[in-house]
Amino acid sequence: MIKLDHAHVTAAFHRYRIDAPHWRKAALVNTICAALEIHAQLEEEIFYPALRAAKPTAIAIDKSVPEHNAMRDSIAKLRTMDPSTPGYDDTVMDLMREVIHHVADEETILLPMAEDVLARDLRTLGAQMNTRRLQLVAGRPVEIAVNSAGAFPILKFSLAGLALVGLLAAFSRIPPAQRGAR
C-alpha cells in the first residue's frame, strides 16, 4: 500500500508541465500536496511507530520524520505562491527531489525491514492505515475533489478520467463494489 501511494504521487509529479496553464499546475500541485500530507500522517501515526517498536535500534527510521517535515516546509511555501510567481516551478522541483529521495530510502531500507520484522502484523497495520486514511480524506473531501478534477480534466481526456477514478480510489481505498453502491 505504501509503495502504491509512492507510485501514484511520483506519477503525478511526472504529469507536471512547466508550460501548462496556471490553473492546471495549481490543481496538480494541490493534489500532490494533499496526497503527501495524508501519506506522511499515516506513516507517522501507524507505520513508523510499529516499525520502531519492532526494531528500536533502526536508526534509519530517525530521519524519516525530519524528511517529512522538509516536504511540509516546501508544501507550505507552495501554498503561499501563485503558479505565475517566479520560483514556483523550482519549488515544485525541490519538492519532487525531496519526495524521490525519501521514497528511495523508504523502499530500499524501511520497507524491506518492515517485511522482515513486521511480517505477521503487516495485514493488520494495512487495515489500520486504510481506516485512518478514510478519516483523513473525509476531513477534506471538497479540496481533494476540486483539485483532482482540475488535475485530471476528465472532459478532455478519457484516460485522465480513469486516472482520476484511480487516484480517488487510492485516496479512499473503497472497494469498487462499495463505491458503486454509494
Q: Are 82 and 22 in contact (CB under 8 A)?
A: yes
Q: How far is the CB of 72 from Fe ion (least distance, A)?
A: 11
Residues numbered 101 to 120 that lie near Fe ion (CB under 5 A) are 106
From 13-21, 39-47, 92-100, 154-162, span contacting Fe ion (CB under 5 A): 39-47
Q: Select 98 or 106, whichever has its Cβ closest to Fe ion.
A: 106
Number of residues that bind Fe ion (CB under 5 A): 2
Q: Does 98 bind Fe ion (CB under 5 A)?
A: no
CA distance 76 to 67: 14
Q: Select 25 or 102, whichever has its Cβ closest to Fe ion.
A: 102
Q: How far is the CB of 12 from Fe ion (least distance, A)?
A: 14
Distances (CA, A) of 173 to 36, 48, 116, 131, 179: 16, 21, 25, 9, 10
Which grid cell is 86? 517566479
From 24-32, 43-51, 151-159, 170-178, span contacting Fe ion (CB under 5 A): 43-51
Q: Select 43 or 98, whichever has its Cβ closest to Fe ion.
A: 43
Q: Which of 36, 43, 137, 151 binds Fe ion (CB under 5 A)?
A: 43
- What is the largest distance, in Å, between two alpha-carbon atoms of the chain? 51
DSSP state letter for 139? T
Q: How far is the CB of 56 from Fe ion (least distance, A)?
A: 19
Q: Are 78 and 88 in contact (CB under 8 A)?
A: yes
Q: How far is the CB of 150 from Fe ion (least distance, A)?
A: 25
CA distance 170 to 5: 7
Q: How far is the CB of 176 from Fe ion (least distance, A)?
A: 25
CA distance 145 to 172: 12
Residue whose entry in the numeric block shows the C-alpha cell 509512492: 6
Residues lying near Fe ion in the complex (CB under 5 A): 43, 106
